[in-house]
Amino acid sequence: MDDMRVAPLFRMEGVSKRYGGVRALEDARLDCSRGRIHAVLGENGAGKSTLIKIMAGVVQPDSGTMQLAGRPVVFRNPAAATAAGIVCIFQELSLLPDLTVADNIAIANPPRRYGLIDRRAQRRLAEAALARAGAEDIHPLAPVKDLPLSRRQMVEIAKALAQDPKILILDEATSALTAADVAKVFAVLKQLREDGLAIVYISHRMHEIAELADDCTVYRNGGFVATFAAGTKSDEAIVEMIIGREYKSVFPPKPAAKPLGPPALAITELSWAGQLKSISLAIRPGEVVGLGGLDGQGQRELLLALFGVLVGVTGKVEVGGKPVAVASPRAAKANAVGMALIPEDRKTEGLMLPMSVRDNLSFAALERFQQFGLIDRQREAAEIGEVIKLLQIRCDGTDGPVAALSGGNQQKIVIGKWLMTKPEIILLNDPTRGIDVGTKQELYQLLRRLADQGAAILFYSTDYDELIGCCDRVLVLYDGAIARVLEGGEITERNLVASALNLPAAHRHGVPLASVAQAPA
Amino acid sequence: MKDWNYRLAEQRGLILAIAVFTAMFAFYIAKHPAGLTANVATTAANKGVLLALVGMAQTIPVVTSGLDLSVGMVFVLANCVASKIMTGSPLATAFGALAVLAVGILCGAINGAVVVYGRLQPIIATLATGTIYYGLALALRPAPGGDINTDFADAVSGSLPGGIPASLVLLVGVVAVVWIPYRRSVLGRAAYAVGSSEQAAYMSGVPIATAKFLAYVLAGLFAAIAGLLLTCITYSGEASAAIGGSYTLNSIAAVVIGGTSLFGGSGGAIGSIFGAFVLRTIGDLLFVFDMDALWQPLFLGAVLLVAVSLGSFRLLRIKNRLELYR
């Protein structure tokens, strides 16, 4: 299985990179061979991103060498790496929102005739690439900005395939995808492996790595830890290598007794624009309620409707027993309602990236620090310090820009910002997308702690493990309506998948997931 | 069928500008005492094409999500240069015309170099270079005057057999020879990519620097063509800050009316042409309604506000407020 006599297609040795005084990567190593999928594992901030940015020519290493097919290479920019056959699908989407899908797929090297772009040939190329990625449902002339996140991710994959790479790097490429799309992407990746590509795969989802990887390499704190053949180590052992400390159960225990008392949030017959259909639910203080189902069934819209972002919502919303009309996020965070929404896309809806950690953390709660129309900076600083400690945010002071922090720490800042408003109802929109195991674990514990302190939590996740591990109750949405409510022991992977597909759910310990997931096409 | 929907949606701004212009111009001709004679058409075309060319010049930097505040000054400088050197034999005039275009390209190249390699904000960089270009124009022609080969001037600013305005043919020629090939070239695509998301464009290996540089160079070229046409219409040159300034600002208005977003990444020069025509027809309409010319700025401003508001109507139908901020 592990044939070391064949020279690897790509080899990186002794590569180091520092940003100012911070060590991002030291003495990094990576070998990629044809026809193999190499998983790179590590927490956020472990150096994975820097590693692949160096491979893709986005950043230049301070020292070390790279070899492609035995010859030393230096990539001065992404175009050089692409020309050499190394194509990377980045976590931060690299699509041009105003251009069409076809324009985007062909952007690096559009087909030309007489020096001008041949739009017909480009259309054929785009259709072929979309088909290869299993995303024929996307129209090549659609502007990318009109597509939902999961479709954009598929365009990103099609774009990479259109460049005919020798080495394909996927950085959290499935984090925004629906389960059905993930299955398609996996099939594509396995085919590409058959075709002899070398694939580097970065994901925080252990079961994805178990399904795909041939080799695994672990990084921690910017340093290389180990490379081993997939299947030779247990999940627990791998997680220990990743986090560098003993592995405990990822999810905190759920309380045995159900919280009683009147609901903190009750909604009745909530509808909106044909995308939300008569949704009723009640959440008591201390409850963590999950939203499940396939991506795009109205989960995001439900959260946005509650938070006052959508126009024309009908139905009744009661907070603490009193009817409220929330017409804007500003009204939602007001004391009378006390809602917080952790948004899906931290970079656009959650953070002001160029602004400081301090400014970002206090934005939502700024009015609380007001005194005679001015901001009481001392009180602000004191509360910011508390939040940073509570969430264990790793940052170098509070004056630096948020953009400089790792993804996990950025997400903690989004959460911290909302905790500073002292919310009683917390809405979360897929908050663990693209963050590392360690941070996820901290987040799960935080959620339970907030619930124990009396918060009512509504939690949308595309990751079934999270719903199972965190939630007291899961509402599975299908086509804008609640298809099924799963409670306690009923929250199993099989039931979640079956309800998501609107199939009759089996009871508790059902058949293994694989047989269900493959049945409906 | 679906293809058509997407193509129509992409051209919505252009179609709207064409519709508004057609309606206004039809109204103008219907009200005009002389009707659509060769003379009326040529006068209207000359005024419209001048601004259309400067609007085209402005479009390309705007597409890259930049701005060129020097287009009006390049236009004035080209006018002054042309009034100095485009005299004498046909051959000398032709070389003079090429020299005027070269001046425009050089001005554009300086803008491009300052923006791309100097990494200055386009708005302030071109404000500064524009003032320099105006200074050069003033040095060249301290008082209005000069001369141009009248045969050449009449050929460009007159009308062809059949009453077709020659300047309109010039405009169509510029579109066919420069704009359309550019729009369909890799660097043209790159300009849109840069305007849409510069980061994503960089990550996709798009030639960002060349695309931005070329955008300003083409802006200089188009502005110089407009300056050449102005000389042919007026037979003279004038270093007027008022003309330069008003053309610069009107070019931005023409770009927006033509459906190009100031955020970059969408729209195109053909929209700006019709945007310019719309702006010019407003003045003409006031004329046929016998309104005092003093009212013109007020009406122009009001119509401009209405015209740019048309693009915002879709916002009323938005059901998800997040889309307001994208």
Chain segment B167-200, per-residue pLDDT in tens: 999 999 999 999 999 999 999 999 999 999 898 8
Nearest CA in chain A to B63: A98
Q: Is residue B264 included in any domain, yes or no?
A: yes
The better pLDDT of the pair B4, A201 is held by: A201
Residue B307 has pLDDT above 80, yes or no: no
Segment B310-323 mean pLDDT: 72
Segment B269-285 mean pLDDT: 91
Same domain, A69 and A101: no
Choose, out of A98, A276, A341, the residue to mutate when testing the contact with B (most B CBs < 10 Å).
A98
- Distance from the Cα of B314 to chain A's closest Cα (Å) equals 14
Q: Which residue segment(s) compose the domain that A316 sits in? A: 252-338+424-521
**Partner residue opposite B6 with nearest CB, options A95, A110, A141:** A141
- Distance from the Cα of B89 to chain A's closest Cα (Å) equals 37
User: Is B197–A95 a contact, with Cβ atoms under 8 angstroms apart?
Assistant: yes
The better pLDDT of the pair B325, B278 is held by: B278
Average predicted confidence (pLDDT) for chain B: 91
Check residue B215 and give its pLDDT.
Answer: 98
Check residue A248 and give its pLDDT.
Answer: 56
User: How far apart, in Å, do the first and last CA atoms of chain B sit?
Assistant: 28
Same domain, A438 and A418: no
User: Is A95–B200 a contact, with Cβ atoms under 8 angstroms apart?
Assistant: yes
Contacts of A110 in chain B (CB under 8 A): 186, 189
Instruction: Tell how strand A276-283 and strand A265-272 pair up.
Output: antiparallel
Long-range contacts of A391-398 (CB under 8 A, 24+ apart): A391/A415, A391/A416, A391/A419, A391/A442, A391/A446, A392/A442, A393/A357, A394/A45, A395/A357, A397/A357, A398/A356, A398/A357, A398/A358, A398/A361
User: Is B318–A78 a contact, with Cβ atoms under 8 angstroms apart?
Assistant: no
**Partner residue opposite A310 with nearest CB, options B204, B265, B320:** B320
Check residue A326 and give its pLDDT.
Answer: 92
Q: What DSSP string runs through B27-59?
A: HHHHHSTT-S-HHHHHHHHHHHHHHHHHHHHHH
Check residue B175 and give its pLDDT.
Answer: 97
**E strand map for A307-432:** 314-319, 322-323, 339-342, 370-371, 374-375, 425-429
For residues B191 and B285, is the Cβ–Cβ distance under 8 A?
no
Same domain, A154 and A175: no
The better pLDDT of the pair A442, A176 is held by: A442
Q: Is residue A372 included in any domain, yes or no?
A: yes
Residue A519 has pLDDT above 80, yes or no: no
pLDDT-derived band at A247, boundaries 50, 70, 90: low
Residue A316 maps to which CATH number?
A: 3.40.50.300
Domain-ending residue, one of A371, A399, A422: A422
User: How far apart, in Å, do the first and last CA atoms of chain A sit?
Assistant: 33
User: Is A116–B320 a contact, with Cβ atoms under 8 angstroms apart?
Assistant: no
**Partner residue opposite B189 with nearest CB, options A110, A273, A349:** A110
Residues of chain B whose C-beta is under 8 A from some C-beta in A? Answer: 2-3, 6-7, 9-10, 181, 184-186, 189, 192-193, 195-197, 199-207, 264-266, 318-322, 326
Check residue B214 and give its pLDDT.
Answer: 97
Check residue A395 and give its pLDDT.
Answer: 84
Instruction: Tell me the one-letter amino acid at A223.
Output: G
**How many domains are contained in chain B?**
1
Residues of chain A whose C-beta is under 8 A from some C-beta in B? Answer: 58, 77-79, 82-83, 90, 93-100, 103-104, 107-108, 110, 112, 115-117, 119, 139, 141-143, 145, 159, 272-273, 301, 304, 309-312, 328, 349
Long-range contacts of A404-410 (CB under 8 A, 24+ apart): A405/A357, A406/A44, A406/A45, A407/A44, A407/A91, A407/A346, A407/A434, A407/A435, A407/A436, A408/A43, A408/A44, A408/A45, A408/A435, A408/A436, A408/A438, A408/A439, A409/A44, A409/A45, A409/A439, A410/A346, A410/A347, A410/A350, A410/A351
For residues B96 and B114, is the Cβ–Cβ distance under 8 A?
no
User: Is A139–B2 a contact, with Cβ atoms under 8 angstroms apart?
Assistant: yes
Same domain, A361 and A313: no
Residue B126 maps to which CATH number?
A: 1.10.3470
Q: Which residue segment(s) compose the domain that B45 sits in? A: 7-310
- Distance from the Cα of B186 to chain A's closest Cα (Å) equals 7
**Partner residue opposite A311 with nearest CB, options B202, B203, B318:** B318
Domain-ending residue, one of A164, A181, A196: A164
Per-residue burial over A20-32, b = 16 or more CB atoms within 10 Å of its CB, e = otherwise: eeeebbbebebbb
Q: How many interchain CB pairs under 8 A, A with B?
A: 98
User: Is B193–A349 a contact, with Cβ atoms under 8 angstroms apart?
Assistant: no
Percentage with pLDDT > 70 across chain B = 98
Q: Is residue A53 included in any domain, yes or no?
A: yes
Name which of A7-21, A351-365, B89-103 the model is least confident about: A7-21
Segment B96-100 mean pLDDT: 96
Choose, out of A58, A82, A99, A302, the residue to mutate when testing the contact with B (most B CBs < 10 Å).
A99
- Distance from the Cα of B265 to chain A's closest Cα (Å) equals 6
Same domain, A115 and A62: no
Q: Is residue A7 included in any domain, yes or no?
A: no
- Distance from the Cα of B26 to chain A's closest Cα (Å) equals 34
Same domain, A272 and A415: no
Highest mean pLDDT: which range of A111-120, A372-381, A491-500, B120-129: B120-129
| Cα B106 to Cα B212: distance, rounded to the nearest angstrom | 15
- Distance from the Cα of B119 to chain A's closest Cα (Å) equals 18
Q: Is residue A92 included in any domain, yes or no?
A: no
Q: Is residue B315 included in any domain, yes or no?
A: no
Check residue A504 and give its pLDDT.
Answer: 58
For residues A35 and A213, is the Cβ–Cβ distance under 8 A?
no
Domain-ending residue, one of A133, A164, A195: A164
Check residue A518 and give its pLDDT.
Answer: 38
Contacts of B200 in chain A (CB under 8 A): 93-97
Q: Which residues pair with A218 in a beta bridge?
A: A41, A226
Q: Is residue A458 included in any domain, yes or no?
A: yes
Contacts of A139 in chain B (CB under 8 A): 2, 6
Residue B122 has pLDDT above 90, yes or no: yes
Same domain, A438 and A465: yes
Q: Is residue A346 included in any domain, yes or no?
A: no
pLDDT-derived band at B321, boundaries 50, 70, 90: confident
- Distance from the Cα of B261 to chain A's closest Cα (Å) equals 10
Segment B262-288 mean pLDDT: 90
**How many domains are contained in chain A?**
4
User: Is A99–B185 a contact, with Cβ atoms under 8 angstroms apart?
Assistant: no
Q: Is residue B319 included in any domain, yes or no?
A: no
Same domain, A434 and A519: yes
- Distance from the Cα of A58 to chain B's closest Cα (Å) equals 8
User: Is B189–A108 a contact, with Cβ atoms under 8 angstroms apart?
Assistant: no
- Distance from the Cα of B194 to chain A's closest Cα (Å) equals 8
User: Is B6–A139 a contact, with Cβ atoms under 8 angstroms apart?
Assistant: yes
Average predicted confidence (pLDDT) for chain A: 86
What's the pLDDT tens digit per position in A253-283? 888 877 788 999 999 999 998 889 999 999 9
Contacts of B201 in chain A (CB under 8 A): 96, 107
Q: Is residue A134 included in any domain, yes or no?
A: yes
Same domain, A183 and A300: no
Q: Which two tokens stand for residue A279?
A: 């949704």
Contacts of A78 in chain B (CB under 8 A): 202-205
Half-sphere exposure of A510 (CA within 13 A, CB side): 20
Q: Is residue A8 included in any domain, yes or no?
A: no
Same domain, A74 and A124: no
| Cα A157 to Cα A176: distance, rounded to the nearest angstrom | 12
> Among B278, B269, B266, B264, which Cα is nearest to B310's?
B278
